[in-house]
Amino acid sequence: MQKIKVIAEIANAHQGDADILYSLLRAASDAGADGVKFQWFKYDHLAVPDYPFYKNYEELFISENEWEKAVCIAKNSGLEVWIDIFDDWGLELASKFASIIDGLKIPSTIIQSDEIIKGIFSMQKPVLLGIGGWHESEIYDFLCNLDKKSLERLIIIHGFQGYPTKTEDANLVRINYLKERFKLQVGFADHEDGAKKLAIDLPIYAVFAGATLIEKHITLDRSKKGYDYYSALEPHEFAVMVSKLREIEIALGTIEVNESERSYLKDALRVTAGEDVEKGEILTLNKVAYKRCSAEKALMPRQFTEKGPMIAKKNIKKNEPITLEFLEKPKIAIAVVCRLKSTRLPKKAVLPLNGITSIERCLLNCLAVPNVEQVVLATSYLPEDDPLEQFALDGKVKVLRGDPDNVLKRLIQAAHETEANIVLRVTGDCPAVSPEILNILIEEHLKNGGDLTIPTAEHATGTAADVYTVWALYRLLSQKKSLTHTEYLSFYYINNPALFSVNKIQLPRELRYPQWRLTLDEQKDWELFEQIYRDLDVKREPLFFADLRNYLLDNPQLARLNSHIALKWKDNKTLVEEISKATSLDI
């Protein structure tokens, strides 16, 4: 809660009478002020004898002993003591009593009196700076001459000092402006006509405008029209003002959201399951609903969206509140499925391309895909595939050996051993698989959810991958029908739309080029890749599609080297029908 400091300005309301001064102190204390402020000066130090108000200053003079008693009375009443310094006599007295006064004020009339200013700051007390009448540039110049510690103790006091004071001269809007302009606290010294109701309320408005300190004149009896009566409040009025300010403190509260306010959000919309969600499923926006619920730990909508796509750690029923305990971040693995049984191009995976084997080229490109936890080389446990054991790339790649014929089981094995919940299938005959394309497919898969994400046919053969939710791989494995032809795994998902959801993504135009064949299956394919890697002088590093594209666009004749070769299954109608039948599940 912000504390508003209220200072009762005694000024000259004592009329030069010490007894009235002491009565004012007791009245200020009873009215609830935090402190009082005295004006310390001596007539012959403040003005020359022919100055118009010299005689008034003589009448108002309070002796040092009487001021000392006043300070003691104030302190014993629990009041802070602040001193307005008007001349060198007042500065000397303040220095003498420095140990028992709480702060000092620089009235606007002495702002350019360098020696007095220096003396005030030498006492290392909090300082109020009256700026009435001074231009912003002059205030700025004054502040520029202060050191950091002095500035930390300074509060600017805004307020029109003349009499009579017009309401329109209050200019409360300047309070917040001054705070922002000079990055200091700002107080308000009010001089509204004390007989007006506004004299009590104007300080309240000033607090709402940003004031943290209120300086207000007090008098015992305004009807006597003594010195400084005009803008002063009588004790009972002063008490009303203080009471209102204390209420404002409570109402202003703090910048923090308190517990009672926060508890209102128990009725805020929370994230609940919009449908039944199974363990391992990607929880996307279309699978949740925002509803009121009694679970205080349930995620709020923005919490959910900021965390991005998440994976369900358990089965979640429709309308069940979703908490962080139900979710985990996607963990992504790339499984490069590879064997050495090729007949058309024997042991193609270990053929060198500019001195680096084809399978290493593929693995290096997979390792360049961002946000992938693990790259796996998934081969068989047959002895013929033993040579692939050596391609762990200094531990960067995990080599797994599994079922020779069932690609599905090898993908599940790769996911299990890497604890992945998203797995990409890349075939080992794709040495130029594109890190850029794989990254886009991963992003789209996480955004859309579903079981499988693949690109449309408008891309170069050998540059893309299939992205599976591991949960969907287990669902396929649990089907009653015998699973054959798993080397064509994606067809099980494409041909069974009632069981599986498939996202088909159109790649950006700069990543398509369907006329290019970038897979390694025949001699002409190897010749193409060898030429590419030699001309580009690619070492043991990934080859990004952007570089490959630029090269092939500059050498269109090279891309035609293997353009006559078709994928072996696409032109074989019997095989296409066989695959279609085998991958269509009985529902």
pLDDT for res 565: 82
Inter-residue contact 104 to 82 (CB < 8 Å): yes
Concatenated DSSP letters of 503-552: EEEPPPGGG--TT-B----SHHHHHHHHHHHHHTT--SS---HHHHHHHH
pLDDT single digits (tens) 561-586: 888 887 666 667 888 889 999 999 97
Confidence class for position 166, pLDDT limits 50, 70, 90: confident
Model pLDDT for residues 447-485, shown as the tens digit of each residue: 999 999 999 999 999 999 999 999 999 999 999 999 999
519-560 per-position pLDDT tens digit: 999 999 999 999 999 999 999 999 999 999 999 999 999 988
Confidence check: pLDDT of 254 > 80: no
- Residues 85-134: tens digit of each pLDDT: 999 999 999 999 999 999 999 998 888 899 999 999 999 999 999 998 88
Q: Which residues of 95-111 are buried (b: 16+ CB within 10 A; e: fewer)?
A: eebeeebbbbbbbbebb
The CATH superfamily of 332-582 is Spore Coat Polysaccharide Biosynthesis Protein SpsA; Chain A (3.90.550.10)
The full set of domain ranges for the chain reads: 5-251, 263-328, 332-582
Maximal CA-CA distance, the chain? 123
Q: Under CATH, which architecture does the 263-328 domain have? A: Alpha-Beta Complex (3.90)
Degrees, nearest 5: CA angle 425-428-430: 95
Residue partners of 141: CB distance under 8 A and separation at least 6: none
Q: For 325-359, write each residue's pLDDT tens digit.
A: 999 999 999 999 999 988 889 999 999 999 999 99
Question: What's the CA gap between 439 and 435, in Å, rounded?
Answer: 6
3-state secondary structure 100-138: HCCEEEECHHHCCCHHHHHHHHHCCCCEEEECCCCCHHH
Residue 82: the pLDDT is 97
Residue range 272-297: average pLDDT? 92
| Domain 5-251 listed as CATH 3.40.50.880 | no
